[in-house]
Amino acid sequence: MTTAAKPLARRHAEEHEDLRQFIMHDPLPRGKMNAMAMESMHATSPIFWVVTAVLAAIVVFALGYEWYILIMKGQGTAGVTRPDYWGVFLVNTVFWIGISHAGTFISAILRVLKIESRRPFTRAAELMTTFGLVQAGLSIFMHLGRVWLVYWMFPIPNERQIWPDFHSPLMWDLMAITTYLLCSTMYLFLPLIPDLAMARDRTQGGWLKPFYKILALGFRGTEGEWKNLVTAMNIFAFAIIPVMFSVHTIVSWDFAMASRPGWSSTVFGPYFVIGALHSGMAAVAIVLFLLRSTMKYYDYFIRAEQFNTIGTLMLLVSMAWAYFYFNDYLVPWYGGDVWDKLVQEYTEKGSLAYLWYTMLIVNIAVPWATLWNKKWRETPWLLAIVGLLINVGMYLERYIIIPVGVTINRMPFTWRQYEPRIEIPMTIGTFALFLLLYMIASRIIPLIPVWEVQEGQEAHLIRKIGKAEISTLSEME
């Protein structure tokens, strides 16, 4: 007879969880990490140049030239019509703003929550934010009928005796996206300063030396400079979180304020924020996989634990997204408004119903089937594929809300299905531009915030309590 209440595990050869698999417990001398970051910036293979050339060509022809045609000929080259006044350009805008939320989530929310595994990839995520917002801004400009007059939307003193109308959700958009773009760029730059100082110290000549010298601002690392920098970073980390929530909420209000069936839903605010996080986290998984596979030495910095963190977040956010989507689905399904039901019917049974089914499968079924398994989460290529599928699903979600939802309205005589035309090459162009900007950035600035990694490594200790090795984190800030 045993005294234990439940049978104990027999002592077979236990997997000794080696704490050194975590980057915080696997420190290298700072000089070595600096050298790794700098060398991965300069080790450029011929494939890099080929890919860059292809991307640049796509940007010039698919984006630049087609946009020129769009401006000179008019919005008729796009697929928009009555009643589908808004089309793929708006889908792109919402999609790119969604991608941009991931950066802020990782660099701000994970920082506030003190999740240490974030340290190696905060800058890579923050770059996604900045470049994603650039694409969003371009996409909204593409959609304007008279884009050369867009400055009329800016609230600056003018001689026209008329200012923009802040009753309009589009003006709230302008204020919110401008705030978010400026603030996330500043938040990208602040932790970059010490790494630029490191790059300045390690670069002897060439055109990059004055670039680093100017941008490093003369940073040395004195107590006063660190205090100012860390205070500013803390203010940003706390303040940019409500801005992040407000930006995508305001973008969702472009649709919720409209009196269209299917759009005028009160759940759109939080639904879009969660949707943004969903696609953003998934995009981070793809970017981390690409960085780890293509950049030299990045398998030291980006390890299984980073993918595990992202994978867990992706699973949680997909559950939250499913919750909000069910909310948005249930209310019109239950009845009441005949027009809301018609929109739903068209989405589920119309000619584009396959988009809806695909969206549900990749947004809910795929993450729920794969991301619960830790081993799978820690496999980079698998997580990247799941991330890619989720991004496809989220793009389809916005496509269903905007061009498909807008087809059904209260005047059945006007119903007409939208077909994207010039939007297709221009969308491909924005993706190419995003990748191109990222690739150029990877050559110019170190993508790993090495000082933050070292800061974390200094604070982590392995302590032996009893027979086990326990990880401890000291509050050194």
x/- string (CB under 8 A) for other proteins, residues 361-400?
Answer: ----------------------------------------
Q: Which stretch binds other proteins (CB under 8 A): 102-110, 246-254, 271-279, 429-437?
A: 246-254
Tell which one of 19, 257, 319, 331 touches other proteins (CB under 8 A). 257
Q: Which DSSP string corresponds to 321-344? A: HHHHHHHHHHHHHH-S-HHHHHHH
**The tokens of 326 are what?**
């069910």
Does residue 66 touch other proteins according to CB under 8 A?
no
Distance between CA 249 and CA 472 in Å, rounded?
Answer: 38
Does residue 197 touch other proteins according to CB under 8 A?
yes
Does residue 308 touch other proteins according to CB under 8 A?
no
Q: How far is the CB of 108 from other proteins (least distance, A)?
A: 11
Instruction: Tell me which amino acid residue 229 is.
Output: L
Q: How far is the CB of 329 from other proteins (least distance, A)?
A: 22
Distance between CA 268 and CA 93 in Å, rounded?
Answer: 16
Question: What are the backbone angles phi and psi of residue 55, rounded to the nearest 5°?
Answer: -60, -40
Q: Which is nearer to other proteins, 177 or 310 (CB)?
A: 177
Does residue 246 touch other proteins according to CB under 8 A?
yes
* Binding to other proteins, residues 30-49 (CB under 8 A): 30-31, 34
Tell which one of 19, 26, 44, 178 touches other proteins (CB under 8 A). 178
Does residue 406 touch other proteins according to CB under 8 A?
yes
Does residue 165 touch other proteins according to CB under 8 A?
yes
Tell which one of 58, 80, 352, 390 touches other proteins (CB under 8 A). 80
Q: How far is the CB of 337 from other proteins (least distance, A)?
A: 9
Q: Which is nearer to other proteins, 143 or 377 (CB)?
A: 143
Does residue 170 touch other proteins according to CB under 8 A?
yes
Distance between CA 471 and CA 458 in Å, rounded?
Answer: 13
Q: Which is nearer to other proteins, 395 or 451 (CB)?
A: 451
Q: Which is nearer to other proteins, 75 or 347 (CB)?
A: 75
- Beta bridge pairs of residue 472: 461
Question: Is there a contact between 189 and 198 (Cβ–Cβ < 8 Å)?
Answer: no
Quickly list H helices, 74-121: 88-104, 110-112
* Binding to other proteins, residues 265-284 (CB under 8 A): none
Q: How far is the CB of 294 from other proteins (least distance, A)?
A: 26
Looking only at the bridges linking them, the beta strands covering 468-473 and 460-465 are antiparallel
Does residue 116 touch other proteins according to CB under 8 A?
no
Handedness of CA 346, 348, 350, 353 (dihedral sign): positive
**The tokens of 39 are what?**
């060398």
Distance between CA 174 and CA 228 in Å, rounded?
Answer: 30
Q: Which is nearer to other proteins, 67 or 187 (CB)?
A: 187
Instruction: Tell me which amino acid residue 239 is.
Output: A
Question: What are the backbone angles phi and psi of residue 352, rounded to the nearest 5°?
Answer: -105, 20
**The tokens of 23 are what?**
């980057």
Tell which one of 95, 172, 298, 438 touches other proteins (CB under 8 A). 172
Residue 165 three-state SS: coil
Cβ within 8 Å of residue 263, ≥6 positions away: 255, 256, 401, 405, 406
Does residue 404 touch other proteins according to CB under 8 A?
no
x/- string (CB under 8 A) for other proteins, residues 128-157?
Answer: ---------------xxxxx-xx-xx-x--
Residue carrying the six token digits 């984006």: 63
Q: How far is the CB of 418 from other proteins (least distance, A)?
A: 9
Q: Which stretch binds other proteins (CB under 8 A): 342-350, 369-377, 379-387, 452-460?
A: 452-460
